[in-house]
Amino acid sequence: MRCIYELEYRELNIDKEGFIKELEDRGYCRVREIFSYLGEDIEEILYQCHDIYQHGIQAGFGSFIYYSDTVKFYKDNEEEILEHLKELANSMYGDEETSLVTLLYENEIHRIFLEEMLFGSPERLYNLFTWIYVQDIINSIMEEYEDILLEHSTLKSENN
């Protein structure tokens, strides 16, 4: 079985709405918004997801480049993002006691972002939180949900 990132999207007619709805039903409640930040065309969105998976979101994709966009995404989805990041920290440390702050404080760059936030300049931290959140969601989708994509797709050659 192949992962989504291994598929050739140009060969598929993808039911974008069906694919997104199924992902939302599986708990990816912000996938529609994430995809809208990446574009309109599902084929192009999936290629960007592939590139994010391969190279990391910090390489610059869609509307996840500038602070004006990433900070807006963070503020619009703050509760969901913070909950997701807390779960991520807990899973990385294997316990429920480790806080997100502990996780971030162990990284020198992230510690600087935390300190900036304390002094009233949270933009880099919000940007980082958005990137971590979106990267984790896209990685999960690209690794695990090839079956959903194929359920909502047909081969273009079948339509000829």
Cα 34 from Cα 78, distance rounded (Å): 14
| Alpha helices (runs of H) in the chain, residue ranges in sequence order | 16-25, 31-38, 42-55, 67-76, 78-93, 100-105, 108-118, 123-144, 146-151
Given CA atoms 142, 8, 6, 58 in this order, what sign does their dihedral have?
negative
% of the chain surpassing 90 pLDDT: 51
Full-model pTM: 0.84
Query: In terms of C-beta distances under 8 Å and separation of at least 24 residues, what long-range contacts does 11-16 make, across chains too?
Result: 11/155, 11/156, 11/157, 12/43, 12/149, 12/153, 12/154, 12/155, 12/156, 13/153, 13/154, 13/155, 13/156, 13/159, 14/42, 14/43, 14/46, 14/149, 14/152, 14/153, 15/152, 15/153, 16/42
2 DSSP 8-state letter: -
With CA atoms as reference, report the closest residue to 114 among 127, 100, 104: 104
Position 65 pLDDT exceeds 80: yes
- DSSP lists the bridge partners of residue 153 as 14
Over residues 69-105, the pLDDT tens digits come to 999 999 999 999 988 988 887 777 666 666 676 767 7
Q: In this predicted model, which residue has the larger pLDDT, 105 or 159?
A: 105
Beta bridge partners of 13: 154
Q: Answer with the residue of higher pLDDT: 145 or 139.
A: 139
Pick the more confident residue, 100 or 58. 58
> Domain boundaries in the chain?
4-155
